[in-house]
């Protein structure tokens, strides 16, 4: 292909490549933190695009969205403004695993985010394809576009999603392409590999979209949204909106039979697709083969937007030929007459090994070059947005010669996500789940702002107005917690009658409100019968008060575990440590530590191939070195 002649197109302190969920957060936070920022996208129609499911949040992912919001990101605000249904998941379990999930109006979500970007001071949005990142002496110098435009920059963030080297598969057919028939970025990988940046191939996929009027909803189970609607953003006071329903459907033995009879036509099984797909979101043909004992699989029928008749068939992603897909689709009750508007497909794309990155998401070998989102081997809009936000914050901090923001595993789900990627790596598209988090009781979605907003304010990602509002909330919680510890409920006949009425046992001695609230059958609202003159507090205040009182003992126990964890995290390691010369370290540990260059003993302990015995040897070495130098 003939590219345009190179010309000087200007200077930007930060250039973000790709305008998906990672790129949008990275560019917005860069501009909001004062950097002159350029956001480049292969198509302006792909800004904040949802190529797969039309939802934000879910198990584990809802925590990420709340944390993005607490640090000054846009995703939570955007989904609050554009959701068409909202549900809180896992409510039968404890608050540690409550997860908010909302159906988005995809068109409105995309349009609003694009408008926010276009209106943001310090931020320019341009349609152009980056074909080269200039690196000189291990430092980013600028980016070159297909048209010949060259932009000088201090830092660049790669947020290329599934566009980089994208290839679409539908049965026997395959061709170069990005999601939703958009153009793929086919030139950047080769240029970066010439600079020593290695890539590999991952795969994902998406189901068909069917016309709403061709679905028989009477054969499906309706799913309504929750009332009241719980916002994602801590800045959203309330959401009053009519919600649209979703529907549950199920495959059956006929569906599975059609798939099995045609399994040899799936590129997953012909060998055409050799890359690794997501374990927790497999294609329907993969589910039928792997779970052969199951007689049915659950599907969710979800509206894509109020402005279209397209319905998303979640759980039915596939790379089968179109005629096979139509056959098994129409074997599902309610979809017998379904008409497909968009084909299902699988897509392969280029991504890096994230262990080549620092916890700041900067390349270890290239100063000023950051990676965020699916190019790091993760999957999901929320995981991408979280990485984009952190990459954007850290690119700005590096430009300002300030210390990077690194959240550890005890501070945020974002910390777990990034630590898993850069320390353990991933051999398949990584998905965030609550089970990955060791400290779930303290890292709840409801307290994300209490954990992270102050940190965001300190690094400059959270505005002064937002921080002032946060401080008022924090102080209100503390005041109410203190008040509950001082007011007594005495064992009078009247009070004991009230205890029985709220489903609790009578008092034998006086108890504070806090002590009464600890009873499983009591909640904050039930205390009102003893406290009619109490102040009216916002639901977010009373929720925090109730959780902190009820789970106080468990939270304190987890805080002790976190302190033990942090002892190893505080033992920092220099990049110049000669691991190959440390006697007692196994050869595998020497090689892994030298390659990874962990920032702390804690991170070193999580590297695959480094044993507890190796960590003990490393601790002995560090103590010996400390004594030699007389350091504390």
Helix pair 381-399, 75-82: axis angle to 10 deg: 140
* Percent over 70 (pLDDT), the chain: 100
Q: How far is it, in rounded angstroms, from Cα 626 to Cα 547?
A: 43
Segments of 315-378 assigned E as strands = 340-342, 345-352, 369-371
Average of per-residue pLDDT across 568-573: 93
Task: Report the alpha-carbon distance of residue 504 to residue 511 in Å, rounded.
Answer: 13
Residue 577 tokens, joined: 């440590």
Q: What is the mean pLDDT of residues 81-88?
A: 97
For residue 82, is pLDDT > 70?
yes
The CA distances from residue 102 to 53, 105, 130, in Å, are 11, 10, 33
Range 209-348 classified under CATH 3.40.710.10:
no
Q: How high is the pLDDT of residue 493?
A: 92
User: Looking at the predicted structure, is the pLDDT value of residue 632 above 60?
Assistant: no
In contact, 7 and 148? CB cutoff 8 Å: yes
Model pLDDT, residue 474: 97
pTM of the model: 0.96
Whole-angstrom distance, CA of residue 59 vs CA of residue 99: 5
pLDDT confidence of residue 143? 98
446 closest CA partner among 559, 540, 361, 346? 540
CATH of 8-202+349-448, one of 1.10.1040.10, 3.40.50.300, 3.30.70.1280, 3.50.50.60: 3.50.50.60
pLDDT at 106 over 80: yes
Count H helices, E strands: the chain?
20, 22
Q: Is the dihedral of CA 287, 98, 415, 362 positive or negative?
A: positive
Least confident among 11-15, 268-272, 324-328, 362-366:
268-272
Alpha helices in 520-580 (DSSP H): 539-550, 552-569
pLDDT at 509: 94
Nearest to 27, CA basis, from 350, 385, 491: 385
- Do 393 and 224 meet the contact criterion of CB atoms below 8 Å apart? no
Closest C-alpha among 337, 394, 333 to residue 367: 394
CATH architecture of 477-553: Orthogonal Bundle (1.10)
Query: In angstroms, rounded to a whole number, what is the distance separating the alpha carbons of residues 215 and 322?
Result: 19
Is residue 535's pLDDT more than 80? no
Per residue in 559-581, is it b (16+ CB within 10 Å) or e — as a string? eeebeebbebbeeebeeebebee
Per-residue pLDDT for 281 more than 90?
no
Q: Which of 126, 113, 105 is nearest to 28 (CA)?
A: 113
What three-state secondary structure class fits 108? helix
3-state secondary structure of 293: coil
Q: pLDDT averaged over the chain? A: 95
In this structure, the number of other CB atoms found within 10 A of the CB of residue 225 comes to: 19
| Segments of 449-536 assigned E as strands | 488-489, 511-512
User: Can you state the angle between helices 61-70 and 448-459, rounded to 10 degrees?
Assistant: 40
Average pLDDT over residues 520-531: 90
Q: What is the mean pLDDT of the segment spanning 38-60?
A: 96
- CB-CB contact of 121 with 335 (8 Å): no
Question: CA 104 → CA 112, 240, 243, 306, 343, distances in Å?
Answer: 12, 15, 11, 10, 21
Checking if the pLDDT of 467 tops 60, the result is yes
Show the tokens assigned to 376: 């790091």
CA gap 377, 384 in Å, rounded: 10
Distance CA 87, CA 552 (A): 27
Place of tokens 């060259």: 150
- Beta-sheet strands, E only, within 44-98: 55-57, 83-89
Q: Provide the phi-psi class of 136: left if phi over 0, else alpha when psi is between -120 and 50, else beta.
A: beta
User: Structure tokens of 435?
Assistant: 């089970």
Q: How far apart are CA 353 and CA 365, in angstroms?
A: 13
Domain residue spans of the chain = 8-202+349-448, 209-348, 477-553, 571-629
Residues 133-153: tens digit of each pLDDT = 999 999 999 999 999 999 999
* Pick among 3.30.360.10, 1.10.150.570, 1.10.490.10, 3.30.70.600: CATH of 571-629: 1.10.150.570
- Backbone Cα Rg of the chain: 26
Identify the pLDDT of residue 631: 58
Q: What number is the average pLDDT over the span 84-93? A: 93
Q: Quick check: 83 pLDDT over 80? A: yes
Residue 345 phi, psi dihedral angles, 5° rounding = -160, 165
Find where tokens 């896992």 sit. 90
Cα–Cα distance, 423 to 358 (Å, whole number): 9
Determine whether 172 is exposed, middle or buried from the number of CB atoms within 10 Å of its CB (0-12, 13-18, 19+). Answer: exposed
Checking if the pLDDT of 92 tops 70, the result is yes
| Cis peptide bond N-terminal to 238, omega within 30 | no
How many Cα neighbours within 13 Å face the side chain of 308?
Answer: 18
Closest to 305 in 3D by CA, of 344, 338, 341, 347: 341
| pLDDT tier at 629, thresholds 50, 70, 90 | confident
């Amino acid at each position: 292909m003939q590219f345009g002649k190179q010309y000087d197109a200007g200077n930007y302190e930060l250039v973000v490549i790709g305008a998906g969920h990672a790129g949008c957060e990275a560019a917005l936070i860069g501009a909001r933190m004062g950097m002159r920022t350029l956001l480049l996208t292969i198509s302006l129609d792909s800004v904040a695009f949802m190529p797969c499911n039309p939802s934000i949040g879910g198990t584990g992912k809802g925590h990420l969205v709340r944390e993005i919001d607490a640090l000054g990101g846009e995703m939570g605000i955007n989904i609050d403004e554009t959701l068409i249904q909202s549900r809180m998941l896992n409510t039968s379990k404890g608050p540690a695993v409550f997860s908010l999930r909302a159906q988005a109006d995809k068109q409105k979500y995309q349009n609003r985010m694009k408008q926010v970007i276009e209106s943001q001071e310090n931020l320019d949005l341009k349609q152009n394809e980056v074909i080269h990142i200039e690196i000189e002496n291990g430092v980013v110098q600028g980016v070159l576009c297909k048209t010949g435009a060259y932009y000088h920059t201090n830092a660049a963030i790669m947020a290329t999603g599934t566009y980089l080297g994208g290839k679409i598969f539908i049965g026997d057919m395959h061709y170069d392409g990005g999601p939703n028939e958009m153009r793929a970025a086919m030139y950047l990988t080769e240029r970066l590999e010439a600079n020593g940046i290695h890539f590999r191939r991952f795969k994902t996929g998406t189901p068909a979209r069917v016309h709403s009027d061709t679905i028989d909803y009477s054969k499906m189970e309706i799913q309504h949204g929750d009332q009241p609607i719980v916002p994602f953003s801590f800045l959203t006071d309330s959401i009053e909106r009519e919600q649209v329903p979703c529907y549950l459907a199920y495959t059956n033995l006929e569906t599975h039979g059609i798939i099995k009879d045609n399994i040899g036509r799936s590129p997953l099984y012909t060998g055409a697709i050799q890359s690794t797909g997501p374990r927790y979101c497999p294609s329907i043909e993969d589910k039928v083969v792997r779970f052969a004992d199951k007689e049915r699989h659950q599907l969710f029928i979800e509206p894509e937007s109020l402005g279209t008749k397209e319905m998303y068939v979640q759980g039915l992603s596939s790379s089968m030929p179109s005629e096979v897909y139509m056959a098994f689709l129409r074997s599902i009750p309610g979809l017998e007459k379904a008409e497909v508007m968009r084909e299902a497909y699988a897509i392969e794309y280029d991504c890096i090994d994230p262990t080549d990155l620092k916890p700041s998401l900067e390349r270890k070998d290239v100063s000023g070059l950051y990676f965020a989102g699916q190019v790091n081997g993760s999957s999901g809009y929320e995981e991408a947005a979280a990485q984009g936000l952190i990459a954007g914050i850290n690119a700005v901090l590096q430009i300002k010669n300030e210390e990077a923001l690194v959240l550890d595993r005890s501070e945020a789900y974002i910390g777990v996500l990034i630590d898993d990627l850069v320390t353990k790596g991933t051999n398949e598209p990584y998905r965030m789940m609550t089970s990955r988090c060791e400290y779930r009781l303290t890292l709840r979605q409801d307290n994300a702002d209490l954990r992270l907003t102050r940190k965001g304010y300190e690094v400059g990602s959270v505005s002064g107005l937002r921080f002032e509002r946060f401080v008022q909330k924090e102080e209100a919680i503390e005041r109410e917690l203190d008040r509950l510890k001082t007011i007594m409920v005495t064992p009078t006949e009247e009070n004991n009658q009230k205890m029985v009425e709220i489903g609790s046992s009578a008092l034998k001695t006086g108890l504070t409100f806090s002590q009464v609230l600890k009873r499983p059958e009591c909640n904050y609202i039930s205390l009102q019968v003893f406290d009619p003159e109490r102040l009216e507090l916002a639901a977010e205040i009373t929720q925090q008060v109730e959780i902190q009182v009820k789970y106080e003992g468990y939270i304190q126990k987890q805080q002790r575990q976190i302190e033990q964890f942090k002892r190893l995290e505080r033992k920092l390691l220099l990049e110049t440590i000669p691991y190959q010369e440390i006697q007692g370290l196994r050869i595998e540990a020497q090689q892994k530590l030298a390659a990874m260059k962990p920032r702390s003993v804690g991170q070193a302990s999580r590297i695959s191939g480094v044993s507890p015995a190796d960590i003990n040897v490393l601790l002995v070495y560090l103590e010996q070195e400390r004594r030699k130098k007389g350091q504390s």
